[in-house]
Structure 1
């Protein structure tokens, strides 16, 4: 799966971070891409801190945390259970995307770096192996 990060102009004179997947589901949706985009309505600065929490939870899962680590925002979440991560919509947990936690951890870092660079920074592309 390839995820493309870009900034999209949003009125009035602002930008929002956008993540698109080259492998959406049958409904033309990538739950994983939407999970990254979900800033809970709190903006980029808070999203950057929220991603730090996601990385911490992913690392805890990889280190053998006994409980499922849930990284959630307003509409989307990722459950980290050891080696496996599952991205899902809070209103539709059946429609989900699975990916290895070891792949999700660097993805979170790339998204965080992209957000930190801001709208003046370059677009980015990240390949993630879902197997």
Structure 2
């Protein structure tokens, strides 16, 4: 699977980050991409801080913490159960995508690093093995 991170601008000139995936679920969505770029309108600075919580939960899940552990955004969430994580819509749990928790942790780190650089004109693509 490939995830592409990019920056875009609203008409007022403020920037926002987007994540697109080349792999969609049967509903035509990528819950993984959406759980990353769903910042609730709070912007990248707050998202960078909130990603720390997602990484903490992923590490706890992989260490055997009783689950599920939830990392919730405005419209999308990640549910971590040990070695497996499910990204899904908060409003429609059937709109979901599953991947290994270790991969989810890696993707969170890549997204956090991308956001921390701030708006840049070039996109960044990350290849992941979601099996």
Greater share of residues in strand: 1
- 1:99-118 map, 5 Å: 99-118=99-118
**Paired residues, number:** 131
Match of 2:53 in 1: 53
Greater CA drift, 29-38 or 120-129: 120-129
SS at match of 1:88: strand
Relative contact order, CA 8 A, sep 6+: which one is greater? Answer: 2
Match of 2:88 in 1: 88
C-alpha separation in 1, matches of 2:121 and 2:54: 23
SS at match of 1:19: strand
Relative to the length of structure 1, the TM-score reads: 0.95
State the Cα distance separating 1:71 from its structure 2 match: 0.3
Relative to the length of structure 2, the TM-score reads: 0.95
Match of 1:3 in 2: 3
Runs of at least 5 residues in structure 2 that lack an aligned partner in the other structure = none
C-alpha separation in 1, matches of 2:109 and 2:100: 15
- 1:69-84 map, 5 Å: 69-84=69-84
State the Cα distance separating 1:42 from its structure 2 match: 1.2
SS at match of 1:93: coil
C-alpha separation in 1, matches of 2:26 and 2:62: 30
- 1:26-37 map, 5 Å: 26-37=26-37
